[in-house]
Structure 1
Amino acid sequence: MWLGKGKIMKKTISKREQTRQMTILAMFIAIVAVLGLVPNGLGGTLGFIKIAPTIEATIIHIPVLIGAALLGRKFGIYLGLAFGVISNIAAFIYSSPLFIYPWVAILPRILFGLIIYDVTQFFIRVTKNKLIGTGISFFILTLIHSLMVLTMLFTSYSMVLGTGVWADDFVPYLTLLVFLNVPWASLIEMGMAAIIGGIIVVRLSMYLKTDKTVYTEDDFNEDSN
């Protein structure tokens, strides 16, 4: 009798857990959408912070890091895909020539989402400290993300040169991006991801764990005794 109830309870709680994961996923995608699409009044979106006249740092990748670290590899891919698609849409809305191509805006972000969970778990095991391990992994993952996107940007070089009005500004823009914006902005992005992301992951994981109870058949057998 208890065995049957145990199976039913386990199945019900499993469905509840799936529903909760999908809700959390939707929440993070919504945050990415707001950061990536809502204008900030400075010609960009809320996800970009102007550090200097020619230097902008992004925080859009931080919700992706946090969500993937908490939810796992599969959800990391979903978040990376959402990040890429939103970035691609924003490129058309805000006339950004570099991210109108899917292999620049979307492909690196999917790969980024794919590796987040495993890299984070690796550094947590190595450091034996969730906060430090998560901070180190987010620092490194942000650098990897920047390098992947920058690599794909160069593949669109000749295409952008043939797109008319954007072509005149592309070479100086790319030069500015590579030699000034990327080094400084990337350092700021890595630091913010490590500090903000690390703290949020630790706090959220503690909160989520309090409701993550899965009853097994053995639990019900012990209760029946």
Structure 2
Amino acid sequence: MKEKKHDTRWMVCVALMAAIVIVLANTPLGMIQLPVIKATTVHIPVILGAVLLGPLAGGILGGVFGICSLISNTMAPTLLSFAFSPFMSTTGLPGVLKALWISVGCRILIGVVSGWLWKLFEKVHLNQTIALPITGFVGAMVNTVTVMGSIYLLFAQQYAQAQNVGITAVWGLIMGTITASGIPEAIASAVLVLALGKVLLRFMKRI
């Protein structure tokens, strides 16, 4: 869609998408528990919101996703919850800030990057059938790469301790997670953003 005015309709649409994010984040469909980390599909409505409503909306929805992730990792902690919840920090204020960046900051980037990427595709008139899955794939990879990359840069020692491995093994484990979890998530995101995005874009043109 073209540039949206931040009017009541825009705010209502953002609120509705935020509600979807919250519902997904609090059901098994949104946060799939794996042995070490929680795989997610919550980034999909964030990406769709960015496509339909712009980068600002995408950033807001990403922030909602991040807050839900923070709460989930606080209430139902896993081995890596120290990297997502400031309340699980064992390294004081620096750990709190790092966890906030990973749980919330990285998720805001999903919406911002997806929104601006979609604007670029609109500007060059790229066909929606190509632009939507690319946006979905990139948005999902922004989530995985920024989160896991930040864990490597900010929490490598704690990650090694949680996994009971040497610090030199952390890079391989991070890349393994990106490959085993991130790429399938991104492929699923590409398919779903294409399927849902085409329908929603047609609907938004009518209102």
Q: TM-score range by the shorter chain?
A: 0.7 to 0.9
The answer for the alignment partner of 1:33 in structure 2 is 22
Q: CA deviation at 1:54?
A: 7.1
Match of 2:101 among 103, 112, 115: 103
1:47–1:106 CA distance, 2 compared to 1 (3 A): same
d(CA) in 1 for partners of 2:164 and 2:153?
Answer: 14
The structure whose Rg is larger is 1
Q: CA deviation at 1:130?
A: 1.0
For the 8 Å contact 2:156–2:170, the answer to whether it is kept is no
For the 8 Å contact 1:70–1:205, the answer to whether it is kept is yes
Computed over aligned residues only, the root mean square deviation of the Cα atoms, in angstroms, reads: 3.0
Unaligned runs of 5+ in 2: 86-98
For the 8 Å contact 2:50–2:58, the answer to whether it is kept is yes
Q: Secondary structure at the match of 2:7?
A: helix
Cα deviation per residue 1:122-180 (whole Å; 9 max; x = unaligned)? 2355563112111112212222221111121124426747xxxxx85344596785243
For the 8 Å contact 2:48–2:197, the answer to whether it is kept is yes
The TM-score normalised by the length of structure 2 is 0.76
d(CA) in 2 for partners of 1:190 and 1:169?
Answer: 26
The answer for the alignment partner of 1:221 in structure 2 is none
The answer for the alignment partner of 1:90 in structure 2 is 72
1:196–1:89 CA distance, 2 compared to 1 (3 A): same
The TM-score normalised by the length of structure 1 is 0.70
Are 1:68 and 2:62 matched, yes or no?
Answer: no
Are 1:48 and 2:31 matched, yes or no?
Answer: yes
Q: CA deviation at 1:64?
A: 0.2
The answer for the alignment partner of 1:152 in structure 2 is 150
Q: Quick one: higher RCO (CA 8 Å, sep 6+), 1 or 2?
A: 1
1:139–1:24 CA distance, 2 compared to 1 (3 A): same
Unaligned runs of 5+ in 1: 1-13, 41-45, 162-166, 212-225
Identity %: 29
The answer for the alignment partner of 1:169 in structure 2 is 162
Q: Secondary structure at the match of 1:181?
A: helix
Match of 1:197 among 168, 193, 197: 193
Q: CA deviation at 1:68?
A: 0.9
d(CA) in 2 for partners of 1:177 and 1:63?
Answer: 28
Cα deviation per residue 1:95-114 (whole Å; 9 max; x = unaligned)? 12221110111111122222
Q: Secondary structure at the match of 1:24?
A: helix
